Amino acid sequence: MTFLLRTVSRSAEGREIVRTARVEGDRLAIGRAPDSDVHLTDLAVALHHAVVERAGPRLGVRVETGLTVELNGRKCASGTIELGTGGDILIASHLLRFMPTPPEADEIQVAVERITEGEAKLDKSAERLFTLAPVMPGKRMLAWLLALLVLGIGLAWPIHAYYERQQRTERFARFQADEIWSSGHLSQAHAALQHDCSACHAKPFESVRDTACLACHTDIHGHADPFRLARARPDLGRWGRIQLAFKQAFNLPPGRCIDCHTEHQGDQRMAPPPQHFCSECHNDLHAKLPDTRLGNAGDFGRLHPQFQPLVVAGWRGDRPLLRRASLDLHPREDNGLKFPHALHLGASGGVAQMARTLGMGPAMACKDCHQANPDGVRFRPVEMERNCAMCHDLAFDSVGGTIRTLRHGDPAQVIADLRALYAGRTAPPPPSLSPFARRPPGTASTARERIQFSRGAGAPGAEAAIRAVFSPGGACYDCHRVEAPPPGSLAWRIAPVAFPTRYIGHGWFDHRAHATQSCTSCHAAGRSQSASDLLIPGIATCRTCHGGERTSKPVASTCAMCHDYHRDEGAPAMLIRQQVRGQRRAPALVPAAAAGAP
Amino acid sequence: MATGSIPRTTLGEGASHEGFLRHKGFRWLKIALFLCLAAGLAYILIDVQPRPSGGSWVGYTLGTLATLLILWLTMLGLRKRAMTRGRWSLKGWTSAHVYLGLSLIVIATLHTGFQFGWNVHTLAYALMMLVILSGIYGIVAYSILPEALSASRGEMTRPQMIDAVMKLDRQLQLGAQPLGHEDTAIVSASIAESPFKGGLLSRLSGRRPRCRTARALALLRPRLVAAVGPGGEALEAVVALLERKAAALARIRRHLRLKAQLEVWLYVHVPLTFALIAALAAHIVSVFFYW
């Protein structure tokens, strides 16, 4: 019995080197021990790893306790090899190949080979091993992965969301993928549209059109006749033409809502359009629209026409003729009243005395007659009964402690009441004792005493009393223009009284916003001797505090502070938004009196 | 051919080394600074209403400029594969790449108008900034590390470093023959372990917490005291070999660390560049989609 060992090794060039050895006997000891029949120099092999013993037509494989070999590819601790078919034993890195042998043969060939993996490769790929390539995913693969990921999230997902949106009609309350395209939060006014991009961006690759805005904003007008608007546009300079060419190239038609109203600027109120949107046309409007009645206006501080309030210019019968007139022309108001503001506001004299008696303070003040509307913007119309009668009372009789007064605003009733008072009386009173003689306004009680005295002195005639009340020195004549009746008649008439409900109709002025200022700092009432003085302050008065968009004055004022592009009446949208959100700026000006106080 | 001119001896570019940063007397630095200055002045002097943003004409101009720059900067990946000299040399190209890339910090930031949010536009900006930051790391790494990298080789080539370890492994294989089974297992583990084992972090730090060679040393060295006889001699030889192997491994790892630090930024710079181009495409398409 012989085992013929063929130990195969390879040279550096890969050439096979075969050494042969013969082992006599039936037993083949395999291990790392030098006395083994098959000496394997691999530290993974035990000193006495396994024994192969011939037993008739087969070989028995016995492995040392606790160790294993791979027998024909199967890990095991013992086993057999049929001589006829041969078999492989793998111990660590060594492969023992038992060649097929006829059972009666005396010699069994065994090939011993070291399976070397990796070692040779190490040398050739040394340079590559030192780079990061083996431990990192490839740059190219990373690049593709990241690029596809970004395209998927940033492009495909939102586009899918857009087309899905087209299939639905209900509003969107949750996040939609195309919101990641939003360049900034919508303004507070449009916050409800945050999830609904298509509300404005109706068609892909088409810029936002006015139809999207007008779908909700149905009650605004477009400022002026579109043709006049177009004519008023300033000529484009070279730069303007370049910009226009770009806009046309990129499908951005000019003159859209969003030209002025820019969105996606953050969670705040939409900024009022800056002044230049107005001044572009209005700066030199006369040149473009010669027939316009508007003065050129470019900046409140520099270029703005004088105010043109509505005034009662005259009368056609009982109808007032209202006309706008520039304050530069010093228009006078034919309102039908006689009222010297200076006399009433005087610090001394009869009026002041009366004010003290009535507990109004040292003298009369504006507020004693002029009371603000509930919104504080304007003032209630002055009414005789409410605002004048506390001094100018029309009492003429007392019956059992009840005072009778002449009815204001109804001359015929006054005449009838006086006739009734004097019915049955005969002797006319001396004119000096007439109760209706001109007198400084007094309390009701003094008036009554005089009436009672005059009654005791002798009953005056009704006709004389009526004539007296409508004549110079009479109660009506004091304040009103009286139209005398034809001779022989007593049909006295009072000229009608009228004021415009709003003097400045095309600009907004809010009195409450100016509450820090005294009335007379703007309205020259203290010097006004006549009711026909128009006490509307001119633009110079406003300009003491208000400048244009960029100014050193305390209040920078753009056009939008007083005017509204889309509306004619009411407060400008900018002020309404400020007020609704409580962002109204606190008046920055400190009253002169308060400023002096410590 | 002009006549009468005297041919001059010109010093070629190879006469003295001029790095890509100093190329042509900082020509591209000056151009980049001019670009930044122009963009800054445009941003400051042009009053865009209601506020500066990418959607104004200044914004579109800066955005277009930045996009063209990004695409051109990406072209370096193609250009670098053809090394040429002359006016448009690769060195000049790299110099322009560095300085124009840095100028993007200013140009693109002004393009945003400082409006940032959780959207695809800011994603593109963030990716661009990451690419630029990794590029800045790359410039710093390239100016500091190569010297240390050469020093760390200790006059050896890289295959030689590996070879040294492999030779020691073979000697260990022989030297450990007399050892018992348990000890050989410890030594085998050291031999089996590749010097290049370990991931990115291990390479960048140069540390290997569970190095089998270090473990083998830690286990076998204390036993030297008690070891006697032929077994003791073998153990002594094995420990000496393990110590030499540990030194060889340390050299490889130092070299690996420097090489990793030198290369790692490209694994950020290049893939993020492509992510940036994808984000840029999404950014531009989205702007026109919801125009």
Percent above pLDDT 90 for chain A: 23
Q: Is residue A116 part of a domain?
A: yes
Rounded mean pLDDT, A208-233: 87
Q: Give the tens place of pLDDT for each residue, A427-471.
A: 444 444 455 555 555 545 455 555 554 444 444 578 888 888 898
User: Contacts of residue A182 in chain B, CB cutoff 8 Å?
Assistant: 117, 119
User: Contacts of residue B259 in chain A, CB cutoff 8 Å?
Assistant: 130-132
Shared domain check, B162 and B141 = no
Residue A473 predicted with pLDDT over 60: yes
The shortest CB-CB distance from A134 to any of B121, B196, B288 is to B196
pLDDT of residue B77: 84
Residues 139-168 of A with CB under 8 A from B: 139, 142-151, 153-155, 158-159, 162
Shared domain check, B136 and B205 = no
User: Contacts of residue B176 in chain A, CB cutoff 8 Å?
Assistant: 43
Range of the domain at B251: 158-264
Residue A569 predicted with pLDDT over 60: yes
Q: Give the tens place of pLDDT for each residue, A318-363.
A: 899 999 999 999 999 998 899 999 999 998 888 999 999 988 889 9
| Residues B184, A123: C-beta atoms closer than 8 Å | no
Q: Is residue B207 part of a domain?
A: yes
Shared domain check, B188 and B44 = no
Shared domain check, B250 and B225 = yes
Residues 77-136 of A with CB under 8 A from B: 119, 122-123, 126-127, 129-132, 134-136
User: Contacts of residue B255 in chain A, CB cutoff 8 Å?
Assistant: 130
| Residues A146, B278: C-beta atoms closer than 8 Å | yes
Give the 3-state DSSP-derived string for B208-275, with helices as H, strands as E and coil as C. Answer: CCCCHHHHHHHHHHHHHCCCCHHHHHHHHHHHHHHHHHHHHHHHHHHHHHHHHHHHHHHHHHHHHHHH
Distance of residue A64 Cα from the nearest chain B Cα, in angstroms: 12
Shared domain check, B276 and B149 = yes
Distance of residue A188 Cα from the nearest chain B Cα, in angstroms: 16
Q: Give the tens place of pLDDT for each residue, B1-18.
A: 444 455 554 555 444 577
Shared domain check, B181 and B134 = no
Alpha carbon distance A496, A317 (integer Å):
9
The shortest CB-CB distance from A146 to any of B118, B181, B274 is to B274
Q: Is residue A343 part of a domain?
A: no
Q: Give the tens place of pLDDT for each residue, A481-512.
A: 998 888 888 888 899 999 888 898 888 898 98
Shared domain check, B274 and B196 = no
The shortest CB-CB distance from A205 to any of B54, B163, B291 is to B291
Q: Give the tens place of pLDDT for each residue, B191-203.
A: 888 888 888 888 8
Q: Is residue A486 part of a domain?
A: yes
Dig out the tokens for A511 from the structure. 């009195």
Residue B128 predicted with pLDDT over 90: yes
Report helix, strand or coil for A299: strand
Give the Cα-Cα-Cα angle A31, A36, A39 (nearest 5 degrees): 60
Distance of residue B57 Cα from the nearest chain A Cα, in angstroms: 8
Nearest residue of B to residue A262, measured between CA atoms: B50
Shared domain check, B206 and B120 = no
pLDDT of residue A421: 85
Shared domain check, B245 and B173 = yes
The shortest CB-CB distance from B255 to any of A130, A185, A204 is to A130
Q: Is residue B1 part of a domain?
A: no
Contact A283, A232 (CB under 8 A): no
Residue A591 predicted with pLDDT over 50: no
Rounded mean pLDDT, B134-163: 85
| Residues A274, B118: C-beta atoms closer than 8 Å | no
Q: Does A182 touch chain B (CB under 8 A)?
A: yes
Distances (CA, A) of B185 to A44, A45, A340, B180, B263: 7, 10, 121, 9, 36
Distance of residue B19 Cα from the nearest chain A Cα, in angstroms: 24
Q: Is residue A499 part of a domain?
A: no
- pLDDT bin (cut points 50, 70, 90) of residue A8 is confident
Q: CA torsion angle for A502, A508, A510, A514 (degrees, to 10)?
A: -120
- pLDDT bin (cut points 50, 70, 90) of residue A124 is low
Q: Is residue B7 part of a domain?
A: no
Range of the domain at A108: 2-123
User: Contacts of residue A119 in chain B, CB cutoff 8 Å?
Assistant: 166
Count of structural domains, chain A: 2
The shortest CB-CB distance from A147 to any of B181, B278, B291 is to B278
Residue B55 predicted with pLDDT over 80: yes
Q: Is residue B4 part of a domain?
A: no
pLDDT of residue A589: 39
Least confidently predicted of A206-215, A287-296, A331-340, B160-169: B160-169
Kindly tell me the burial class for residue A414, based on how many C-beta atoms sit within 10 Å of its own C-beta (0-12, 13-18, 19 or more): buried
For chains A and B, count residue pairs whose Cβ atoms are closer than 8 Å.
Answer: 164
Shared domain check, B144 and B269 = yes
The shortest CB-CB distance from A183 to any of B49, B115, B187 is to B115
Kindly indicate whether the ipTM for this predicted assembly is greater than 0.95, answering yes or no.
Answer: no
Count of structural domains, chain B: 2
Q: What is the mean pLDDT of chain A?
A: 83
- Domain end among A449, A472, A494: A494
Q: Is residue B205 part of a domain?
A: yes
Least confidently predicted of A127-136, A208-217, A397-406: A127-136
Q: Is residue A58 part of a domain?
A: yes
Q: Give the tens place of pLDDT for each residue, A143-154.
A: 999 999 999 999
Q: Is residue B79 part of a domain?
A: yes
Contact A440, A350 (CB under 8 A): yes
Residue of A367, A385, A388 lying closest to A376 (CA atoms) = A367
Q: What distance lies between CA A260 and its chain's CA centroid?
A: 14
**Sign of the four-CA dihedral A244, A246, A248, A253:** negative
Nearest residue of A to residue B255, measured between CA atoms: A130
Q: Is residue B276 part of a domain?
A: yes
| Residues A41, B173: C-beta atoms closer than 8 Å | yes
Residues 193-252 of A with CB under 8 A from B: 197, 201, 204-208, 243, 246, 250-252
Residue A590 predicted with pLDDT over 50: no
Q: Is residue B12 part of a domain?
A: no
- pLDDT bin (cut points 50, 70, 90) of residue A596 is very low
CATH number at residue A61: 2.60.200.20
Shared domain check, B195 and B79 = no
Q: Give the tens place of pLDDT for each residue, A432-443.
A: 445 555 555 554
Contact A436, A474 (CB under 8 A): yes
- Domain end among A455, A473, A494: A494
Shared domain check, B143 and B35 = yes
Identify which of A101-115, A268-282, B30-44 has the greatest average pLDDT: B30-44
Q: Is residue A552 part of a domain?
A: no
Q: Is residue A111 part of a domain?
A: yes
pLDDT of residue A35: 87
pLDDT of residue A11: 64
Dig out the tokens for B90 from the structure. 């690769």
Nearest residue of A to residue B149, measured between CA atoms: A130
- Domain end among A123, A139, A161: A123
The shortest CB-CB distance from B270 to any of A47, A139, A153 is to A139
Q: Is residue A409 part of a domain?
A: yes
